[in-house]
């Protein structure tokens, strides 16, 4: 098994952008919908470039450029992007325009940037990177699938570096629909946020890294036995036992429909483990699991006492992912 390291990871979210200030001074919110805390884009791109890009794209580009700079990797072997809703803002502008003007005189500009792969391909265009490039869009596991893809190609020795990311934005209108179906905005729930997270995975053990990515398992409506098997095989592959896991990171968000899934799994697999609910800090979002992995990697780097973290991502639709990272 080839080792995979998390070399660098950066975020823009509802916390202080491009910073780990959330560890000591997290921002807290009472509103159910919180827009991203944008960094000063002009520090990273020319004003005319920034004007041509939507918020989602700018945030994804800034986190990417920072990761490329930190790692000194100009052209990663792969750029693998996760986004559930893609360019939601532009998509709705097109729908609005069709409502107002019918099917006449639509501007092509928003359409050009409305497909889900706009982000991933724009990162390649901006950095002139010709390697493997793909985009996953599958609800709350959109980011986890990028990690699985990079992992596979590293095991196959096809690539040694991969820029993976999770990026999603939110609009007022879409938030209200998601609230109506009970995904966000539920009483007692963390806010719904926006985000971009870019991360460099690298098989080179000699580079400075935040953590080692020991493995990932993805499934759909796993049975108790399957979940146990997945955990055992993850730990076995990493030559670890459950006792070596310091912390379980969950996607609990205060929404009972969501949290009951995690509670059942925790009770069954990790009855005595300390847990951390990263969405309490970063809010709910389809690609929030990217912030979970980001947070876990930075915590492992900074906290002496943490040895390994298991990340759990479960969705009401039945998707399930487990990731294990260690020092």
Partner 1 sequence: MIPIYITGSGVVSAIGVGKEATLAALQAGQTGVRKLKYLDSCHDELPVGEVQLSNHEMNQLMGVADDLRHTRTALMGRLALREALKEARLERDDLKAIPFISATTVGGMDRREAYYAQEAECDDVHAEISTHHCGSSTEMIAEPFGEFASMATLSTACSSATNALITGANMLRCGMADIVVVGGSESLSKFHLNGFNALMILDHEQCRPFDRDRAGLNLGEGAAYLVLETEASVKRRGVKPQFVLSGYGNACDAFHQTASSPDGEGAYLAMQEALQLAGLKPEDIQYINAHGTGTPNNDESESHAIQRVFGEHLPPVSSTKSFTGHTTSASGSIEAVFCLLALQHQFLLPNLNWHEPMEDGIIPVMEQKPQGEIRHILSNAFGFGGNDSSIILSKL
Footprint on this chain of partner 1 (rule: CB under 8 A): 79, 84-86, 91, 94-95, 98-99, 102-103, 106-108, 111-118, 120-122, 124-125, 127-139, 141-142, 145, 149, 152-153, 155-156, 173-174, 177-178, 180-181, 183, 218-221, 286, 317-319
Smaller CB separation from partner 1, 40 or 105: 105
Smaller CB separation from partner 1, 33 or 210: 33
Please, which residues have CB within 8 angstroms of residue 255's CB and are 6 or more apart in sequence?
182, 183, 184, 186, 188, 189, 284
What 221-230 contacts at long range (C-beta under 8 Å, 24+ apart), as own/partner pairs, is: 221/318, 221/320, 222/320, 224/268, 227/265, 227/268, 227/269, 227/320, 227/322, 228/268, 228/269, 230/322
Q: Output the smallest distance, CB 26 to partner 1, in A.
A: 29
Smaller CB separation from partner 1, 21 or 155: 155
Q: Output the smallest distance, CB 98 to partner 1, in A.
A: 7
Stated as kind and residue range, the H or E segment containing 262 is helix 256-269
The dihedral through the CA atoms of 251, 175, 170, 33 has a sign that is negative
Q: Are 248 and 235 in contact (CB under 8 A)?
A: no
Smaller CB separation from partner 1, 170 or 306: 170
Q: Output the smallest distance, CB 293 to partner 1, in A.
A: 17
Smaller CB separation from partner 1, 168 or 277: 168
Distance CA 275, CA 309 (A): 9
Tokens linked to 307? 């040895």
Q: Output the smallest distance, CB 106 to partner 1, in A.
A: 4
Q: Output the smallest distance, CB 274 to partner 1, in A.
A: 28
């Amino acid at each position: 098994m080839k080792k995979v390291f998390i070399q660098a990871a950066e975020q823009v979210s509802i916390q202080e952008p491009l910073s780990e200030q959330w560890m000591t001074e997290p921002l807290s919110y009472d509103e159910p919908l919180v827009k991203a805390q944008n960094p000063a884009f002009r520090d990273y791109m020319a004003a005319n470039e920034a004007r041509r890009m939507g918020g989602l794209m700018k945030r994804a580009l800034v986190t990417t450029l920072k990761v490329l700079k930190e790692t000194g990797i100009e052209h990663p072997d792969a750029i693998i992007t996760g986004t559930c809703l893609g360019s939601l803002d532009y998509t709705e502008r097109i729908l609005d325009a069709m409502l107002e003007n019918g099917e006449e005189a639509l501007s092509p500009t928003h359409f050009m940037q409305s497909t889900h792969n706009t982000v991933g391909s724009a990162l390649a265009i901006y950095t002139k990177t010709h390697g493997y490039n793909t985009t996953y869009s599958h609800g709350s596991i959109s980011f986890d699938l990028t990690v699985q893809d990079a992992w596979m190609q590293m095991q196959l020795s096809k690539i040694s570096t991969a820029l993976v990311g999770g990026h999603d934005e939110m609009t007022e209108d879409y938030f209200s629909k998601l609230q109506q179906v009970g995904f966000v905005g539920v009483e007692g729930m963390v806010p719904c946020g926006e985000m971009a997270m870019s991360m460099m995975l690298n098989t080179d053990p000699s580079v400075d890294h935040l953590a080692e990515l020991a493995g990932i398992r993805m499934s759909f409506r796993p049975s108790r036995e399957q979940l146990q098997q997945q955990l055992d095989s993850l730990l076995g592959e990493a030559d670890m036992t459950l006792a070596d896991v310091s912390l379980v990171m969950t996607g609990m968000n205060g929404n009972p429909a969501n949290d009951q899934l995690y509670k059942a799994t925790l009770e069954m697999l990790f009855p005595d483990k300390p847990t951390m609910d990263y969405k309490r800090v970063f809010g709910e979002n389809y690609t929030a699991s990217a912030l979970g992995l980001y947070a876990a990697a930075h915590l492992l780097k900074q906290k002496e006492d943490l040895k390994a973290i298991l990340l759990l991502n479960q969705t009401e639709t039945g998707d399930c992912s487990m990731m294990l990272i260690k020092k």
